[in-house]
């Protein structure tokens, strides 16, 4: 009997016995070097991460037509899961991770699926026949990057997808869950289903704040998700935005301590991790703060900073699954 590709995919997912699950917005990155004129034209600042508005819609075609872009499988959570799987595969643990999100029924969606599979990540995408796969303009200038995400199909993920037998096989097998804050604009109800499962089964739930606009404009959603977070990640600009919004002060070590001590479901203490580029990474837990020095990469080896934070999380998660202590996990993230 020859199984259809769909049935074969379902059979593979149903047999998933891995330990890491991510859920988020799968986006195809359209990445190109641009000049200041392009940034000015679309009103974008370096190191921005924003959702596309009407004024940004033409940028995707402009990049394709004029900038010889690279097409890269992206989306913050999917990036982190792929990096974690690269490390786990190198350590003799292939097929340990899975990712859930929503894509269109189109070439970009197929490209995302193929890239994930090539990296050893099992994907169980919700397929939206009426909406194209999401894209993200990655504008690179002098090694720095800005992101403009057009979520499209990624915005249409529904809790019903978690009721499929394949999704249940994934999240029941997994012991570690990671969701980036970008997903908070899409389906908090879906996040809560996964987080409640983690809580009820004494598993580990990890969250990333992802961008200042998430903190500023989706505060209720952040508050809902944060209560479940055993590990919380963000960078220095997101940490500063959270501190400002909630009156926690400007000292990021104090901000980290206060977030770590804020209300939480379950009995595990919360660990808060603030990355700061080439400056020391801040880790707060149980009333203590530790700073972990970063060895800066020589400028001539730096291509761009796109995905740097996602890669940090991937390294951290892979080490966490190997039951390493937090300091070792941070070092793996730096590497």
- Which H or E run includes 198? helix 188-200
Q: What pLDDT does residue 248 have? A: 98
At residue 141, the pLDDT reads 92
Of 150, 165, 185, the residue nearest 7 (C-alpha) = 165
Q: Which residue has better confidence, 304 or 154?
A: 154
Task: Report the share of the chain in percent with pLDDT over 70.
Answer: 96
- pLDDT(14) > 80: yes
pLDDT tens-place string over residues 166-194: 999 999 999 999 999 999 999 999 999 99
Question: What is the rounded average pLDDT of the residues 107-125?
Answer: 93
Please tell me the predicted confidence (pLDDT) of residue 298: 61
Packed helices 326-334 and 308-321: angle between N→C axes, nearest 10 degrees = 140
**Cβ 291 vs Cβ 277: under 8 Å:** no
pLDDT digits (tens, 9 = 90+) for 249-305: 999 999 999 999 999 999 999 999 999 988 999 999 999 999 999 877 665 654 444
User: Is the pLDDT confidence value at 12 over 90?
Assistant: no
- Quick one: pLDDT at residue 305? 47
Minimum mean pLDDT among 59-73, 222-236, 296-310: which range?
A: 296-310
Q: Tell me the pLDDT tens digit for each residue of 237-252.
A: 999 999 999 999 999 9
Q: What does pTM read for this prediction? A: 0.92
The model's confidence at residue 105, banded by pLDDT at 50, 70 and 90, is very high
**309 pLDDT tier (thresholds 50, 70, 90):** confident
104's CB contacts (< 8 A; 6+ apart) are 127, 128, 129, 131, 132, 133, 152, 153
Q: Residue 140 corresponds to which tokens in the numbers above?
A: 């690179």
Contact 120, 85 (CB under 8 A): yes
Q: Catalytic site residues?
A: 310
Q: What is the pLDDT of residue 61?
A: 94
What is residue 306's predicted lDDT score, i.e. its pLDDT? 46
> Does position 37 have pLDDT exceeding 80, yes or no?
yes
Average pLDDT over residues 304-310: 64
Output the pLDDT for position 300.
61
> How open is the CA angle 187-80-161, to the nearest 5 degrees?
30
DSSP state of 203: -
Average pLDDT over residues 228-236: 98
The whole-number pLDDT of residue 302 equals: 47
Read off the pLDDT of each residue in 104-129 and give the average, rounded to a whole number: 94
Find the largest Cα–Cα distance for the chain. Answer: 65
Mean pLDDT of 128-156: 95
Length, in residues, of the chain? 335
Helix residue ranges, H only, 28-106: 36-41, 58-66, 76-90
Q: Using CA atoms, how far apart are residues 25 and 134, in angstroms rounded to an integer?
A: 8
State the average pLDDT for the chain.
93
> Rounded to the nearest 5°, which phi and psi values hold at 234?
-165, 170
Q: Are the CB atoms for 312 and 76 separated by under 8 Å? A: no
Confidence tier at 307 by pLDDT (50, 70, 90): low
């Amino acid at each position: 009997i020859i199984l259809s590709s769909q049935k074969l995919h379902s059979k593979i997912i149903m047999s998933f016995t891995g330990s890491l699950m991510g859920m988020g917005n799968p986006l195809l990155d359209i990445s190109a070097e641009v000049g200041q004129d392009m940034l000015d034209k679309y009103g974008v600042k370096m190191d921005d991460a924003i959702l596309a508005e009407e004024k940004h819609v033409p940028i995707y075609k402009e990049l394709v037509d004029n900038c010889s872009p690279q097409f890269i499988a992206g989306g913050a959570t999917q990036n982190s899961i792929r990096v974690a799987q690269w490390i786990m595969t190198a350590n003799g643990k292939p097929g340990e991770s899975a990712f859930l999100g929503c894509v269109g029924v189109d070439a970009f969606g197929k490209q995302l699926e193929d890239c994930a599979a090539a990296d050893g990540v099992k994907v169980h995408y919700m397929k939206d026949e009426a909406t194209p796969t999401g894209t993200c303009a990655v504008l690179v200038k002098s090694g720095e990057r800005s992101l403009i995400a057009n979520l499209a199909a990624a915005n249409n993920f529904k809790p019903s997808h978690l009721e499929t037998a394949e999704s249940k096989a994934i999240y029941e097998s997994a012991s570690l869950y990671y969701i980036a804050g970008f997903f908070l604009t899409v389906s908090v109800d879906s996040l809560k289903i996964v987080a409640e499962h983690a809580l009820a089964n004494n598993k580990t739930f990890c969250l990333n704040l992802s961008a200042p606009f998430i903190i500023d404009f989706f505060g209720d959603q952040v508050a809902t998700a944060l209560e479940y977070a055993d590990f919380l990640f963000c960078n220095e600009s997101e940490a500063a935005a959270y501190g400002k919004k909630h009156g926690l002060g400007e000292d990021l070590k104090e901000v980290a301590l206060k977030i770590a001590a804020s209300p939480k479901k379950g009995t595990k203490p919360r660990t808060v991790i603030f990355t700061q580029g080439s400056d020391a990474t801040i880790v707060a837990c149980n009333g203590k703060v530790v700073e972990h020095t970063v060895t800066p990469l020589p400028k001539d080896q730096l291509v761009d900073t796109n995905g740097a934070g996602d890669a940090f999380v991937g390294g951290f998660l892979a080490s966490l699954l190997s039951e390493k202590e937090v300091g070792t996990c941070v070092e793996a993230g730096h590497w």
